Structure 1
């Protein structure tokens, strides 16, 4: 009798184990299928998201600018170019170490910004200047031909003083234009450059004023 009971218990345990094993197998298969489904779905979703983001980004680049951004780039390019011309005149004429330091900073920052702004206008399908131009002398801080001639004729401390005076006015004009872009512009990259112009050139204005005080 006891042997019979033992056999029943053994069969019952074997049956329970088989059912449990089958359940685990089904769960494993189901889990694998769900996992694959999630993985494929994730990949598809990620690809779609990546494609969507790329398209959205491209669309934003093409559509995120406004007239203020275009005007900022078109006016700031020649403005920066004149600053580079002024900096070039310092070679062989400047004497003060701080003036030379500012010259190097202007050349490094403004040449890079010019290339950025040209690339924006190209991406936006806009010319680097309007048909009639913006009238160089109408732009705040732009030097006249006479100013450039006088600067080129100066040397040593005279050049340093004249350079500081003219670059202060030139930088003030750039800061004015950059603040307009900060207020009215739309393109994030253009506004970032405007922020950089305000920050760096305001600091250089302060430095140039201190230089003038001691020259």
Structure 2
């Protein structure tokens, strides 16, 4: 009888010990998992608020040159679109029509982009009716403009802009005469845009505006070469 009780007591003690061991092991696993999750969460966390704020501030910084660039380039692009739209029904050269189509596709989205910048900065977006430098906000026509006057078309102070007589001449032309007039005028127009973009690249502060200016220089310089080739000047 005594042996039976002893064996029973030992069995109970062993069972309790095993259960205790399993409980301790489970607690240890939970603690480890929690620690692992914490480490994972820490390593995958996003940058600190101060870091994110600094990046946002840098991206949003702009100066007066950025404003002048957008307010000047928007009407400049609009006139290029007006000229390009004439090509569909007046040009005789398929290459001229193709070039005009590419100008429209490139510059229309850029107008929307620059208009968005001005709106976000609380600055005036040039009205759609603006077609000459005299009506462009943000431009100083007393000789201190941030945009250099490189236009030799005989009218506008805005680099490369056509005056009213130029546009009237283009509108009256058709066929080969239109092709020649369009190409000659658009070369001057592009040269003005390149000059404006160069100023933005050197004096602007807003990263996206400087990037757009760089794209304008690259694309329009290539188109100037293309147009000179079509004019037989290359």
Alignment equivalent of 1:88, drawn from 85, 90, 104 = 85
- The aligned counterpart of 2:10 is none
- The aligned counterpart of 1:152 is 171
For the pair 1:195 / 2:214, whether they are aligned, the reply is: yes
Q: How far does the alpha carbon of each residue in 1:184-205 deviate from its partner, in whole angstroms, 9 at most, with x for none?
A: 1111111111111111100110
CA shift, 1:35, in A, is 2.7
Q: Give the RMSD, CA atoms, in angstroms.
A: 3.4
Q: Does the 8 A contact of 2:90 with 2:174 survive in 1?
A: yes
Question: Can you give the 5+ residue segments of structure 1 that lack an aligned partner in the other structure?
Answer: 1-16
Alignment TM-score, normalising by the size of structure 2: 0.73
For the pair 1:213 / 2:232, whether they are aligned, the reply is: yes
Query: In 1, Cα distance between the equivalents of 2:158 and 2:168?
Result: 19
Query: In 2, Cα distance between the equivalents of 1:193 and 1:79?
Result: 14
Alignment equivalent of 1:182, drawn from 201, 208, 212 = 201
Query: In 1, Cα distance between the equivalents of 2:181 and 2:34?
Result: 78
Moved over 4 A (4+): 17-26, 48-52, 55-58, 129-136
CA shift, 1:26, in A, is 4.8
Q: How far does the alpha carbon of each residue in 1:73-103 deviate from its partner, in whole angstroms, 9 at most, with x for none?
A: 0000000000011112223210011111110
Aligned 1:1-215 pairs, distance under 5 A: 24-38=25-39, 42=42, 45-46=45-46, 49=48, 53=52, 55-56=53-54, 58-61=56-59, 63-129=60-126, 137-213=156-232
Which structure has more helix as a fraction of its residues? 1
Q: How far does the alpha carbon of each residue in 1:15-60 deviate from its partner, in whole angstroms, 9 at most, with x for none?
A: xx99986774453232023134335x539944x748973x555544
Moved more, 26-35 or 87-96: 26-35
Alignment TM-score, normalising by the size of structure 1: 0.79
* Secondary structure of 1:37's aligned partner: helix
Task: Indicate the structure whose relative CO is greater, using CA pairs within 8 Å and at least 6 residues apart.
Answer: 1
Size of the alignment, in residue pairs? Answer: 202
